[in-house]
A and B are shown apart, each in its own frame.
Chain A
Amino acid sequence: MDSAQILLAVMWVGLTVYALLGGADFGGGVWDLLAGRSRSGMPQRRLIEHSIGPVWEANHVWLIFVLVVLWTGFPLAFASVMSTLYIPLTLAALGIIARGAAFAFRKASTELWQQRLFGGAFALSSVLTPFFLGTVAGGIASARVPPGLAAGDVVGSWLNPTSLLGGVLAVLVCAYLAAIYLCDDAARSRTPELAEGFRRRALVAAAVTGAVALGGIAVLHWDAPRLFSGLTHRALPLVVLSAVLGIASIVLLWLRRHLLVRAAAVLAVAAVMWGWPVAQYPAMLPPALTYREAAAAPVVTTTVLVVAGVGALLVLPSLVWLFLLQRRMPYDADASH
């Protein structure tokens, strides 16, 4: 294995963690949007705020990590993706700023109308951001981003069947993960009513996500045949694993084994996340550009790996501590706001 290959894997680990943690934070926003009227949706919104509050900023840094590794390790791929897909990426960036700012503003405001306004912005941007990031993934995976500055179609590269599938699937996966995490959080906080609500939502989200993924196979067959063939050949074990784990998560939800549900869902999403690169490897921007052609000089990839390794020693234990503290901070349903 050369250092570019390792860096590619490290970057993908970062993206997977972002999907599993940051994705769930966006999913929390999706459920916030669907929580209903101000008064009746209050307990759900407060649980969501409690679950996201301490961790969303740290979760969000994984995206920055991925961007920085991409531009340092694979500058040509970064420049090509950003320049061709600048419309959905600008919209995703604006979604990120609106989501984060509105969430913080809602927490700091006291009046109902302010909380409604900022809450609305928070919830809406939580849907739009993963959607646009999903269209970006679809554009790359369906071979619509050629190497070069704005060398692809700036509209068709993200307004196409695979991109729309990617966008919808991204929102659904975020909602699915969030419902499962929130169900577990609510169960641990001894608020069975809330837990049941999120369990119901998780079941619906799991079923819808599964159905869209199944239908998506047909879309890919027609719109991205190369990706389809990769997913049905080399990446088939991962695709099957993801389907099995997804079904397992539904069964475990049914049985109310909340912690196991969490594990099954996380692994199901991770399997899908790894299915994509495995299907198109060694292409980075399919069909032609391989990761090796896009890679920076070996001295750069090696240095970034060393820095990332040192960083991991500092970051990972701290992150574990943060999550442990958060788990030991049960949601108090009676605390007045």
Chain B
Amino acid sequence: MTPLAVLAGPASPADLVAARTQMALSLGWHIVFACLGVGMPALLLFTEWRAHRTGDAEYMRLARRWATAVGVLFAVGAVSGTILSFEMGLLWPGLMGVYGEVIGLPFAMEGIAFFIEAIFLGVYLYAWDRLSPRAHLLSGVPVMVAGVASAVFVVAANAWMNQPRGFDLENGRVTGVAPWAAVFNPAMPPQVLHMVIAAFMVSGFVTAGVYAVALLRGRRDRYHRLGFLVPFTVAAALSPVQVLAGDYAARFLADYQPTKLAAAEAVFPTGPNAPLHLGGLVIDGRLRYALEIPSGLSMLVGFSPGTVVQGLDRVAPADRPPISPVHLAFDTMVGIGMLLLLLSAWLALSWWRRRDLPASPWFLRIASVAGVLAVIAVEMGWVVTEVGRQPWIVYGTMRTFEAVNPAPGLWVGFAVVAVVYAFLTVAVVYVLRHVARTGHVAPQETEP
């Protein structure tokens, strides 16, 4: 293969920033719909299954309504995901030209999963009244499985950028490619676990949030209670699991990507008794205004204050990621995770003692924004993952500026893309509100 680096001219700093911002915008936008695409089919199928088991018409109404929303969400998720596969080449041809063959396999498998998802969703949504209830329910199972599978494969590809495996480098040329070793890289298990759980939590909290608003407004009938309780219970049950999965992911960083953990926790000196910092800003190379828990990080990483934690002092300033954004994003994510855990415990306690939702209106008030909070937590998690890996696009191997498209004027493209996404955001919010309010059901799906 021809080494591409020789042919590439340098991209201007403004174009590099434009490319990074465009990628962040497209990814950050897509991830919301991707989460719902992974989690919603399971909620939908559970509700439809309950409808058939219990004969409860309210379950069926919920399933029909959610199916309409899933139709819109999946379409938007599908096309916003397609843009990403374009952008991999449009913005980062230096990465794809050299490493495309190494990380292609998980994307190829993701493509197949996406195929299955699209085909069976077409069947599920459009042939509702043409299949027996049993066949219809079964036609949704591949959608659910393929949704989770595509999340696994895509996150595996991202994990490879954190822990690149499955190739050798000889004078800048890739040799000895081992595609499966690239897929099953060390970062894959913690990242996949954390992300798939996050997808289900986002789906649960977002869906429940819609009904929390309705309950707050006094529509306390069975339909709205079920619409709240089913998705909220799923998300609440996963909240403690996610704390453990997040802990696993952070502990993984301590061993494999200590610089990212040091940035997330804003720890500069290497050594034992590493403190846990809450909040704060890095000014002139040191953290200020942070709440400090002495030896907290050492305790979390190795269960003992004597655990040595590698700080940012071990890497040259040029090889460090931007610290304040990574640290604050990390704290925001963890803070929201804890809040959602408390909210879940509140429901569990109330259900255990009186088989009902907590009486305080504050429960529903917080629950109605839990979906938004969960989405923010996911976005912040991706900030930690992606910004925390900088200045590398492939950790320890290729710098981000080496990967960017050297063509002139990338910032113009970014401006156009930003405008399109702004319109799209307005439209998608408007249409989904419309679906939620009127429950408009397309003719193919009208209730008999």
Contacts and interface: CB of A to CB of B under 8 A. Distances in A.
Interface residues of B, number: 82
Q: Is the interface of A mostly helix, strand, loop or mixed?
A: helix
A140 interface: no
Contacts of A69: 104, 108
A68 B115 CA distance: 13
B89 A321 contact: no
A87 B413 contact: yes
Contacts of A337: 443
A6 to B, nearest CB: 15
A55 B122 CA distance: 6
B107 interface: yes
B73 to A, nearest CB: 9
Interface stretch (A143-151, A160-168, A178-186, A193-201): A143-151
B96 interface: yes
A315 B108 CA distance: 13
A72 B107 contact: yes
A79 B402 CA distance: 13
Contacts of A76: 1-2, 4, 97
B76 A80 contact: no
B21 interface: no
Nearest to A300: B101
B244 interface: no
Contacts of B76: 100-101, 104
A43 interface: no
Q: Is the interface of B mostly helix, strand, loop or mixed?
A: helix
A318 interface: yes
B122 to A, nearest CB: 4
Contact of B101 (A54, A72, A87, A310): A72
A38 interface: no
B15 to A, nearest CB: 11
B417 A94 contact: yes
A296 B112 CA distance: 20
A92 B79 CA distance: 12
A325 B130 contact: yes
Interface of A: 53-55, 57-58, 60-61, 63-65, 67-69, 71-73, 75-76, 78-84, 86-87, 89-90, 92-94, 96-105, 107-110, 118, 147-151, 154, 293, 296-297, 299-300, 303-304, 307-308, 310-311, 314-315, 318-319, 321-322, 325-326, 328-329, 335-337
Interface of B: 1-2, 4, 7-9, 68, 71-72, 74-76, 78-83, 85-90, 93-94, 96-102, 104-105, 107-112, 114-116, 118-123, 125-127, 130, 142, 174-175, 177-180, 405-410, 413, 416-417, 420, 424, 427-428, 431, 434-435, 438, 440, 442-444
